Amino acid sequence: MRLTTIAASIALAAGMSSAVTSTMAADVEVLHWWTAGGEAAALDVLKQDLETQGVGWKDMPVAGGGGEAAMTTLRARVTAGNAPTAVQMLGFDITDWANEDVLANLNDVAATENWDAVVPTALQAFSKHDGNWIAAPVNVHSTNWVWISKSALDAAGGKAPESWEELVAVLDAMKANGITPLAHGGQPWQDATIFDAVVLSMGNEFYKQSMIDLDMDALSGEEMVEVFKRMETLRSYVDDNFSGRDWNLASAMVIEGKAGMQMMGDWAKGEFLKAGQTPGEDFLCIRFPGTQGSVTFNSDQFAMFGQEGDADAQQKMAAAILSPTFQSAFNVVKGSVPARTDVSDAEFDDCGKKGMKDLAEANEAGSLFGSMAHGHAAPAAVKNAVYDVVTQHFNGGLSNEEAAEELANAVDAVL
């Protein structure tokens, strides 16, 4: 029996749980981790869009960047027979749930709206399972960005860094100017987000071999030792209170000029915009030095869990998510770029325009890769193994050589 059917029977047998009864047929209960200011503003765009179509919104936020906590809640809800109707998900997590045969089929709406023709193939790899559409992509984010305070950069010489050596020189100058050079939050997913970019800065081939192909020699070799050496160098530029800090609080340090830069995915732009800042004037967005021309991406998608009576609202939500006007309005606020190839960049700011151009060019050039930190390079077990080693090393628990060896061992153990 399909898990959805089991879930429905459990709910019926229990006389329906309060969470189920309070969700009317035309409502969607949405599980997500968009709780920071910029994220909530983007979520509002979706909420309002659905409300105009008569679809009510029942909010189920689970704080925690990167979505690990949200995925734990999801597992508990499904196990309890009380799955939310729509769930924000990343890459391989979608595939894992699709393998459990619990996701609603979105083929009808996909056919009506011609998703096959407009959704980039790199995204379709996760939105489709066995040829069926099982998730609606709302955006494309990328992780190899650096967000720099314009005034801090001006005080540090004014030139945005283009190579690793230039990056270190700018960080040194910011340190000499008495600010925290690198705003960072010490949480495994944030450490891993920087790691994505540092691995990519060693070359496309190396990123592919180590993060996508999970090649043991690449994971443990000299280039990986160099990656950890760079991580150790970056670690020397964070402040003493970095441990456990949320990513948006690190963004705030840059926004307020207390720190020079943050290495973070483009959801960080949502925070700068929410604070009334303008790209080029108050802050700069650059690709992590040494990764120009390449992109490590992740795409937020909404997967629907089949509950009796929810199909109509779910189909409406899926259609709304992929509509070109919504894709523009939402992504302008979120910091990401559209999950369709045919959306104009007219409404986007300079960072958004660059994001769209970079994505298209990287896709053409074969330099578009799934982000390890955000679930698009390998399944959760591998991602978590990488998180553990990267975080242990970042906190001084492993030497650079030990970390490279341990990385290969940890990945090997879960393959």
The DSSP symbol for 58 reads E
Alpha helices in 53-90 (DSSP H): 68-79
Reading the block at residue 32, the tokens are 């997500």
To ligand BGC, the closest distance from the beta carbon of 55 in angstroms equals 21
Nearer to ligand BGC, 16 or 63 (CB): 63
To ligand BGC, the closest distance from the beta carbon of 279 in angstroms equals 18
Reading the block at residue 298, the tokens are 């992740």
To ligand BGC, the closest distance from the beta carbon of 409 in angstroms equals 26
CB 307 within 8 A of CB 7: yes
Closest to 130 measured CA to CA, from 98, 100, 96: 98
Task: Build a one-symbol-per-residue string for 61-100: x at contacts with ligand BGC by CB under 6 A, - elsewhere.
Answer: ----xxx----------------------x----------
Q: Is 298 in the site for ligand BGC (CB under 6 A)?
A: yes
To ligand BGC, the closest distance from the beta carbon of 371 in angstroms equals 8
How far apart are the C-alpha atoms of 376 and 232, rounded to whole Å? 25
Nearer to ligand BGC, 235 or 376 (CB): 376
Q: Which helix (H) or strand (E) holds 38?
A: helix 37-52
CB 290 within 8 A of CB 227: no
Q: What angle do CA 354, 355, 358 make, to 5 degrees?
A: 80
Nearer to ligand BGC, 381 or 415 (CB): 381
CB 138 within 8 A of CB 300: yes
Contacts with 47 (C-beta within 8 Å, 6 or more apart), sequence order: 57
- Residue from 30, 33, 302, 398 in contact with ligand BGC (CB under 6 A): 33
Nearer to ligand BGC, 141 or 354 (CB): 141
Task: Build a one-symbol-per-residue string for 139-178: x at contacts with ligand BGC by CB under 6 A, - elsewhere.
Answer: --x-------------------------------------
To ligand BGC, the closest distance from the beta carbon of 333 in angstroms equals 11
Contacts with 134 (C-beta within 8 Å, 6 or more apart), sequence order: 94, 98, 103, 104, 105, 106, 127, 128, 303
CB 202 within 8 A of CB 227: yes
How far apart are the C-alpha atoms of 414 and 405, rounded to whole Å? 15
To ligand BGC, the closest distance from the beta carbon of 145 in angstroms equals 12
Nearer to ligand BGC, 340 or 374 (CB): 374
Task: Build a one-symbol-per-residue string for 217-256: x at contacts with ligand BGC by CB under 6 A, - elsewhere.
Answer: ----------------------------------------
Q: Tokens 């070109």 sit at which residue? A: 324
To ligand BGC, the closest distance from the beta carbon of 192 in angstroms equals 11
- Residue from 77, 129, 374, 376 in contact with ligand BGC (CB under 6 A): 374
Q: Is 289 in the site for ligand BGC (CB under 6 A)?
A: no
How many CB atoms are closer than 10 A to CB 244?
A: 10
Nearer to ligand BGC, 128 or 141 (CB): 141
To ligand BGC, the closest distance from the beta carbon of 39 in angstroms equals 5
To ligand BGC, the closest distance from the beta carbon of 335 in angstroms equals 8
Reading the block at residue 53, the tokens are 């179509």
Task: Build a one-symbol-per-residue string for 260-279: x at contacts with ligand BGC by CB under 6 A, - elsewhere.
Answer: -------x------------
Reading the block at residue 331, the tokens are 């992504």
